[in-house]
Structure 1
Amino acid sequence: MDSEKNSSGIPLYTRKNRKGLSSYAWLGFVLVALVASATVLQQCYSPDRAIAGRLGKAGAAAAQPKCPSVGIHRPETYDTYKKTLDKIMNDEGFRNESVSKMQHAVRIDTSSFDDLPLDVGSNLPLFEHFDVFLDSLRKDFPLFHEHTELHKVNHHGLVYIWQGSDESLKPLLLMAHQDVVPISEDSLAKWEHGPFSGDYDGKYLYGRGSGDCKNLLISHFEAVEELIKAGFKPKRTVVFSYGFDEEILGPRNKNAEFIEELYGAKSMYAVMDEGGVSMMEISGTTMAVVGTGEKGYLDVSLSIQKKGGHSSVPQDHTAIGMMGSLIVEIENDKFPTYFVEKNPTFYQYVCLAEHAVDIDPLLKQDILNSQIDEQANANVREFMNRDRFTSYAIKSTQALDVIHGGVKYNALPEFVELVVNSRVAVEESVTFAFKKFLKDAETIARQYNIGLSAQFPYSNGTEVVILPATDVGIMTVKPITILEPSPVTAANDMHWKIFAGTARHVYEELAYPDRFNNSDEQVVVTPGLGTGNTDTKLYWNLTDHIYRYRPGVLPSVNGNSHGINEYIEFDSHLQCIAFIFEYIQSVDEIQD
């Protein structure tokens, strides 16, 4: 039977039938090839369930969480530099100059390839395009380079220090990365503008890196130059850090180590890096989602080794056949789901429940009661888990990405390996995820009566899990790459108030004053979860306040980041400059 639907064809949110967030999808930001998208969640009220909750009104109200929304924040120096902000946002001459600088950056191919050697110093010709990029930065931003001190780390990592007058204040750390995702030769014909053309049509600027994330890097330089021109002199030191291999997981990036050696652990006021969600319409509400946490990362190898031989006399189950059974077992064994306050996604949904105009009142009640009512929690998790994108935010994922085995058509395979990538939920750990895959492997090993050994995360040795009863074969499970889920940045302190409040000011009073100034509508700035990882994974030891956010009109994935025809709506770039211009001033005015 077809599910009950509203007039728009969207499934109703009911106890009996809750289809996925078919009209709202959580958008995480992108690392390597992970992509997500967001749409609008409509109000779908079902009259067959009473709105009254299972708890008394007083008890429910006392226990319901609150959206960490904040008021608009302007720096005290706003009036002093208001003309400069107006120039950034509205002056056609400034816009054209900014376009030219972005074009220069995009036209330099700074692709990072997976097979680049780890030893940069012995392979400098392979990285020389970053020298070209630095030369371009020096040419386009002479004031920035005149007023900052550049430290080159591991040859091509860039750390700039804009020294403040008060060394008792913790420095602010602003980040981006220089490198971009390579272009597939097979895709060139599908690019409407050349991938490194930097073409500009008056509204959009095209090319690789325009959205991920040369625009963020260039906005730092432009904002600082405008501050210098306006006579601003920082009390709080500002550090700028730019890696050159973020798109290949950042193993050559030594910038964080350098900064920690220079300033010490927990020495930064806050870190701001790229993020995938800028500003979007969700259920009739304008929201900006700041990444205050990231999922963990695990690559795990599962291999089967057994006797080979001539394929004319095969065993009943070859290593490839056994691996096929393991693949089915892994994919059918799903990770559990969570909807808890530890996960920033929780507060994103709380904000949605409090502010969304079109949200189903039943869903709103379940979200707000989810921490005191097990059934409400289960309802929300089921609702989110029905949609592929929203489910990513509330559970660990598993992607079977690489498999190889066998060498000849008429020879039985002696070795088969599967590599699974898991993005680990913030409620779990790398070890938890690893043990799930080990459990799957044990099921298949016992089914085929083969041995099983495992190298656990953080262990140097191999542990025998099942002794092989015969010489049929042995399965081995071991981690390749591990990264625990990140610490989660608080969204209830002055750091958050300034960051989120600055975003509201840029959007509501500078970018879209006609829309927001004369209405009750506001931009709701919420915490969110990154389903991928940025270079911030290297900076956890420097601060407890990490914000993964790139101001702008569209989420970066909507601009085809990592894909064909990458572009940025240029208003996004100007908004980013304005945000950095104001954020530096605002954190300069407070004590730690």
Structure 2
Amino acid sequence: MKIIFISIGFIFLIFIVVTIFNTFTTKSVQPTAEPTDISIDQEAALKRFSTALTYQTISYQDRTKFNFEEFDQFITLLEESYPEVHQQLEREKVNQYSLIYLWKGTDSTQKPIGFTSHYDVVPVLEGTENNWEQPPFSGNVVDGVIWGRGTLDDKLGVIGLLEAVDYLLEQDYQPTRDVYFMFGFDEEIGGDQGAKAIVETLKNRGVTFEFILDEGGAIVENMVPGVSNPVGVVGISEKGSATAELMIEGSGGHSSQPEDRTNIGRIARAIARLEEKQFKADLRGPGEELFEYVAPEMNFGMKYVFANKFLFEPIIEKILLQQPASAAMIRTTIAPTIFQAGEQYNALPEKATAFVNLRIMPGEPLEEVKDFIVDTIDDKGIKVSISGSEASNVSSSNSKAFQSIQQAARNVYGDVVIAPYLMFAGSDAKHYEAISENTYRFLPVKLTSEDLQRMHGTNEQISIENYINAIKFYVEMIRLSNKM
């Protein structure tokens, strides 16, 4: 018996030594910040951005509602606001409203790099106009804050990039690589006539990129448990988006003589089964990489857990599943959004349909997702169809391009922790992966939880400091990318 206790004690000692060793040898992968010396003419940059926000370049699902006069005027504004950019860079229109700017580099043997954004915005929800503290298309600057639709999504990217180029031209900067700036006009409704058309144009010319940088993740405080510093997340992939339709048809009849299982009941049972079972959670891919990057910056307790993921993964996954945002990082999500059945309160509907929105993890084909739904609901009377897109490719977090994003962000923001992650929403970046080795998604601003709710919502705004820092980030990123 004594030998058994000694053996157990020895095994426990080895366990402690190994796990403590793993914890203390987890090294930071954040580059040393090199504070930037960029000095932006704030007053001039503010005026240009504020004016750009006044144009109602709104994307509607119904394309007949587009007011293209506003889009024409916005493009004219860019020409007038950035004459040096338009003189020294080549500009091309695709589908009349998408813009490609090419800044020729000195070394044509190197692969070009690309920055993309979009200048269309979502509509202001009818009836909410009076809820805005400043008019949504005013571009007003009040108490250090810039107000208006597009301040975060994503005229910030368009204007921020053009400001960065304008600044570098003033400094007589000449890139080594060709640098492309590509601005879509319909990203909010999928980018089919904007970014997709740009990609087709460049693909036909044989243009391929070292990397593409688009909007996406941002810098958020209190984002990761155990990390006191702000964390900036860079999307290295985005989840697929699909819709599953569950439909059943059968006899209706009077509600006074229902069968035990009605059409509505069977669809409701199917949805309940899906929500109860859920897709399998698995901390892998971009979600796993996120914690590999932030683990060295955690307090000791959290670092101990994540440095020994091989032991604690089930516990970690259980914790992540407790919150919708973190759960979405490790599994395909199920969201019933539409239910259609019946017209008369005392008549059984002959048909019932439910639509389920799915955000799909990388590596999960649509056919496998459909099979999971069919097997889970286990009702041969319900027809299941699925349409949509699978997740995008996963870009490298070990590339020089990703390291440049890290360095540029830390040069501007100092103590920020930059890590890869899986983006839940869609962006134009998914189109560009057809012509780029890597695609990254990062909006270089600090956001609060309130800011995230304002994006596409009421009172969209950005601080002056954030706007200026975004310009500085793009300047740094262009410089660093030409040193890769």
Structure 1 length as normaliser, TM-score? 0.74
Structure 2 residue corresponding to 1:537, chosen from 404, 426, 430? 430
Amino acid in the other structure paired with 1:490: S
Match of 1:351 in 2: 293
Q: Contact 2:141–2:147 at 8 Å: present in 1 too?
A: yes
Query: 1:584 aligns to what SS in structure 2?
Result: helix
1:477 aligns with 2:370: no
Match of 1:397 in 2: 333
Q: Residues 391 and 207 (structure 1 numbering): CA distance in 2 closer, same or farther, change over 3 Å?
A: same
1:387 aligns with 2:323: yes
CA–CA distance in 2 between the matches of 1:280 and 1:303? 44
Q: Contact 2:294–2:419 at 8 Å: present in 1 too?
A: no
CA–CA distance in 1 between the matches of 2:363 and 2:15? 27
Moved more, 62-71 or 254-263: 62-71
CA–CA distance in 1 between the matches of 2:154 and 2:147? 13
Q: Contact 1:553–1:569 at 8 Å: present in 2 too?
A: no
Percentage identity across aligned positions?
28
Listed as ranges, the gaps of 5+ residues in structure 2 are 1-11
Query: 2:188 aligns to what SS in structure 1?
Result: helix
Superposition pairs of residues 546-565 of structure 1, within 5 angstroms? 546-554=439-447, 558=451, 560-565=454-459
Query: 1:275 aligns to what SS in structure 2?
Result: strand
Amino acid in the other structure paired with 1:575: N
Match of 2:158 in 1: 217
Q: Residues 63 and 304 (structure 1 numbering): CA distance in 2 closer, same or farther, change over 3 Å?
A: farther
Query: 1:185 aligns to what SS in structure 2?
Result: coil
Query: 1:239 aligns to what SS in structure 2?
Result: strand
Deviations 1:285-342 (A, max 9, x none): 23222112222222111111223344455444332222221221121121111123xx
Q: Residues 331 and 564 (structure 1 numbering): CA distance in 2 closer, same or farther, change over 3 Å?
A: same
Q: Contact 1:211–1:556 at 8 Å: present in 2 too?
A: no
Listed as ranges, the gaps of 5+ residues in structure 1 are 1-50, 89-93, 117-122, 446-451, 453-473, 509-521
Q: Contact 1:279–1:551 at 8 Å: present in 2 too?
A: no
CA deviation after TM superposition for structure 1 residue 409, in Å: 3.9
Match of 1:299 in 2: 243
Q: Contact 1:276–1:557 at 8 Å: present in 2 too?
A: no
Q: Residues 478 and 52 (structure 1 numbering): CA distance in 2 closer, same or farther, change over 3 Å?
A: farther
Q: Contact 2:26–2:296 at 8 Å: present in 1 too?
A: no
Q: Contact 1:277–1:556 at 8 Å: present in 2 too?
A: no
CA deviation after TM superposition for structure 1 residue 427, in Å: 5.0
Query: 1:505 aligns to what SS in structure 2?
Result: helix
CA deviation after TM superposition for structure 1 residue 250, in Å: 2.2
Q: Contact 2:60–2:66 at 8 Å: present in 1 too?
A: no
Deviations 1:115-135 (A, max 9, x none): 32xxxxxx6965443222212
Structure 2 residue corresponding to 1:334, chosen from 274, 278, 283? 278
Structure 2 residue corresponding to 1:507, chosen from 413, 431, 435? 413
CA deviation after TM superposition for structure 1 residue 579, in Å: 1.2
CA–CA distance in 2 between the matches of 1:475 and 1:159? 48
Deviations 1:195-218 (A, max 9, x none): 111111141111111111111110
Amino acid in the other structure paired with 1:478: S
1:248 aligns with 2:189: yes
CA–CA distance in 1 between the matches of 2:367 and 2:450? 31
Amino acid in the other structure paired with 1:256: V
Structure 2 residue corresponding to 1:275, chosen from 204, 208, 216? 216
CA deviation after TM superposition for structure 1 residue 546, in Å: 1.7
Q: Contact 1:278–1:556 at 8 Å: present in 2 too?
A: no
Q: Contact 2:19–2:304 at 8 Å: present in 1 too?
A: no
Amino acid in the other structure paired with 1:168: T
Amino acid in the other structure paired with 1:69: Q
Moved more, 141-150 or 561-570: 141-150
Structure 2 residue corresponding to 1:493, chosen from 393, 396, 399? 399
Structure 1 residue corresponding to 2:30, chosen from 61, 64, 69? 69
Amino acid in the other structure paired with 2:463: E
Match of 1:193 in 2: 134
CA deviation after TM superposition for structure 1 residue 397, in Å: 0.8
CA–CA distance in 2 between the matches of 1:130 and 1:260? 25
CA–CA distance in 1 between the matches of 2:97 and 2:13? 61
Q: Contact 1:64–1:369 at 8 Å: present in 2 too?
A: no
Match of 1:261 in 2: 204
Deviations 1:496-527 (A, max 9, x none): 2222112111222xxxxxxxxxxxxx332211
Match of 1:512 in 2: none
Q: Contact 1:276–1:556 at 8 Å: present in 2 too?
A: no
Query: 1:308 aligns to what SS in structure 2?
Result: coil
Deviations 1:36-60 (A, max 9, x none): xxxxxxxxxxxxxxx9783652896
CA–CA distance in 1 between the matches of 2:75 and 2:449? 24
CA–CA distance in 2 between the matches of 1:250 and 1:192? 30
Amino acid in the other structure paired with 1:579: F
Query: 2:333 aligns to what SS in structure 1?
Result: coil
CA deviation after TM superposition for structure 1 residue 380, in Å: 0.8
Q: Residues 196 and 53 (structure 1 numbering): CA distance in 2 closer, same or farther, change over 3 Å?
A: farther
Q: Residues 365 and 558 (structure 1 numbering): CA distance in 2 closer, same or farther, change over 3 Å?
A: same
Superposition pairs of residues 50-129 of structure 1, within 5 angstroms? 54=15, 56-57=17-18, 61=22, 67-72=28-33, 82=37, 85-86=38-39, 88=40, 94-116=41-63, 126-129=67-70
1:284 aligns with 2:228: yes
Q: Residues 62 and 261 (structure 1 numbering): CA distance in 2 closer, same or farther, change over 3 Å?
A: farther
Match of 1:367 in 2: 306
Q: Contact 1:553–1:571 at 8 Å: present in 2 too?
A: no
Q: Residues 530 and 314 (structure 1 numbering): CA distance in 2 closer, same or farther, change over 3 Å?
A: same
Amino acid in the other structure paired with 1:292: I
Deviations 1:377-423 (A, max 9, x none): 10111111112221111111111111222234454322222111111
Query: 1:303 aligns to what SS in structure 2?
Result: strand
CA deviation after TM superposition for structure 1 residue 222, in Å: 0.7
Query: 1:274 aligns to what SS in structure 2?
Result: strand
Deviations 1:272-295 (A, max 9, x none): 110232243553223222112222
Superposition RMSD on alpha carbons, in Å? 2.6
CA–CA distance in 1 between the matches of 2:23 and 2:333? 34
CA–CA distance in 1 between the matches of 2:317 and 2:289? 14
Q: Residues 166 and 320 (structure 1 numbering): CA distance in 2 closer, same or farther, change over 3 Å?
A: same
Match of 2:98 in 1: 157
CA deviation after TM superposition for structure 1 residue 194, in Å: 0.9
Q: Residues 497 and 138 (structure 1 numbering): CA distance in 2 closer, same or farther, change over 3 Å?
A: same
Q: Contact 2:254–2:347 at 8 Å: present in 1 too?
A: yes
| Paired residues, number | 468
Query: 1:537 aligns to what SS in structure 2?
Result: helix
Q: Contact 1:216–1:573 at 8 Å: present in 2 too?
A: no
CA–CA distance in 2 between the matches of 1:58 and 1:402? 48
Match of 1:166 in 2: 107
CA deviation after TM superposition for structure 1 residue 426, in Å: 2.5
Query: 1:186 aligns to what SS in structure 2?
Result: coil
Q: Contact 2:219–2:230 at 8 Å: present in 1 too?
A: no
Q: Residues 353 and 587 (structure 1 numbering): CA distance in 2 closer, same or farther, change over 3 Å?
A: closer
CA–CA distance in 1 between the matches of 2:69 and 2:386? 33
Q: Contact 2:23–2:304 at 8 Å: present in 1 too?
A: no
Match of 2:479 in 1: 585
Q: Residues 52 and 139 (structure 1 numbering): CA distance in 2 closer, same or farther, change over 3 Å?
A: farther
Query: 1:380 aligns to what SS in structure 2?
Result: helix
CA–CA distance in 1 between the matches of 2:165 and 2:172? 11
1:204 aligns with 2:151: no
Q: Contact 2:58–2:66 at 8 Å: present in 1 too?
A: no
Match of 2:362 in 1: 426
Amino acid in the other structure paired with 1:368: A
Query: 1:551 aligns to what SS in structure 2?
Result: strand
